[in-house]
């Protein structure tokens, strides 16, 4: 991987990489404000449709906006969403609580994924990938995601760290402390809701998150699903060309090969990065439907995702 990373740096030049890697509080806050506005709008739809069957599509739309807080979480754990380190960390912590993906643990997990993308030590390959249509449906439902994440938080809160990707003892201590804080937040929210006789969290957070999770599963499997097991980031990672609303919702995460080649480049500079190197990309799709069709065919052919 290190040899390829050096090659990637030389590909666009150090000066251009430095320019592209410039971080911006204004760009990050503007995009985050748009995402929060979407959450507010879909939340209003839930309120207006309360007591009718329309509440279910409203909760689905709210859930998609909610669960796609994953892209800004991903951006903030890289500390590229904003120029301010503190702002990155605060936003990452809040989102991590909302989508049950705590910041410190996810940073350790994700950085290991970057170091060993599609290699034997890639933690994303540590869980079995769907190999049949039934397994694909179960994977997309996202129930295993929620169960696994809650089990992981509980395990880490007791001080048990079964994963091998923690870089230092300081990271290990941070992960354990974070798990305990996150559990305390969940417990406080649950106890407060029960004491107040309120179902607001159920209708605006829990059910929407369950309904929206399959859309995130579909998005995430397109990042590396069906890609070759190689150290070439332009081959082992898929860039998917899509429309402006999806690029907004995913914080330009569809330019995923560009992100893996140059993780220091923030979300707002990825489209320009793509314009510089798009003819060198080896694994691309003209849309998410095309990517999923390709992944489905790969799975049906008995090949490893």
Phi then psi dihedrals of residue 162, to 5 deg? -85, -10
pLDDT in tens, 97-126: 999 999 999 999 999 999 988 888 888 887
CA distance 279 to 66: 34
**127: DSSP letter:** S
* Bridge partners for 239 per DSSP: 284
Phi then psi dihedrals of residue 99, to 5 deg? -110, 20
CA distance 241 to 257: 12
Q: Side-chain half-sphere of 142: how many Cα atoms within 13 Å?
A: 21
pLDDT at 103: 97
pTM: 0.94
Q: Please tell me whether residue 240 adopts helix, strand or coil conformation.
A: strand
CB atoms within 10 A of CB 128: 10
For the chain, the domains span: 2-300
Run means of pLDDT, 10 residues per run, the chain, 305 residues: 57 91 98 98 98 97 98 98 98 98 95 89 80 86 92 95 85 95 98 97 97 96 92 94 98 97 97 95 96 90 76
CA distance 284 to 127: 24
pLDDT at 209: 97
């Amino acid at each position: 991987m290190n040899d390829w990373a050096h090659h990637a740096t030389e590909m666009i030049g150090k000066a251009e990489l430095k320019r592209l890697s410039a971080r911006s509080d204004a760009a990050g806050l503007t995009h985050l404000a748009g995402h929060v506005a979407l959450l507010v709008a879909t939340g209003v739809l839930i309120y207006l449709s309360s007591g009718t069957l329309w509440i279910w599509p409203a909760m689905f739309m709210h859930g998609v906006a909610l669960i796609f807080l994953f892209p800004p979480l991903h951006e903030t754990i890289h500390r590229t969403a904003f120029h301010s380190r503190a702002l990155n960390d605060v936003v990452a912590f809040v989102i991590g609580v909302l989508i049950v993906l705590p910041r410190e643990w996810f940073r350790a997990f994700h950085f290991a994924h970057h170091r060993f993308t599609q290699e034997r030590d890639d933690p994303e390959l540590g869980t079995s990938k769907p190999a049949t249509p039934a397994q694909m449906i179960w994977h997309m439902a996202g129930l295993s995601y929620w169960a696994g994440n809650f089990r992981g938080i509980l395990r880490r809160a007791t001080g048990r760290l079964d994963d091998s990707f923690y870089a230092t003892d300081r990271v290990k201590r941070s992960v354990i402390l974070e798990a305990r804080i996150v559990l305390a937040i969940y417990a406080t929210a649950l106890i407060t809701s029960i004491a107040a006789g309120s179902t607001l969290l159920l209708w605006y957070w829990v059910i929407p998150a369950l309904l929206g999770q399959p859309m995130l599963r579909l998005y995430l499997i397109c990042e590396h699903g069906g890609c070759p097991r190689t150290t070439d980031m332009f081959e082992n990672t898929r860039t998917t060309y899509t429309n402006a609303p999806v690029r907004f919702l995913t914080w330009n995460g569809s330019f995923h090969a560009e992100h893996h080649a140059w993780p220091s480049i923030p979300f707002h500079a990825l489209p320009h990065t793509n314009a510089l190197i798009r003819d060198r990309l080896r694994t691309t799709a003209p849309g998410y439907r095309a990517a999923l069709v390709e992944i489905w065919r790969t799975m049906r052919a008995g090949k490893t995702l």
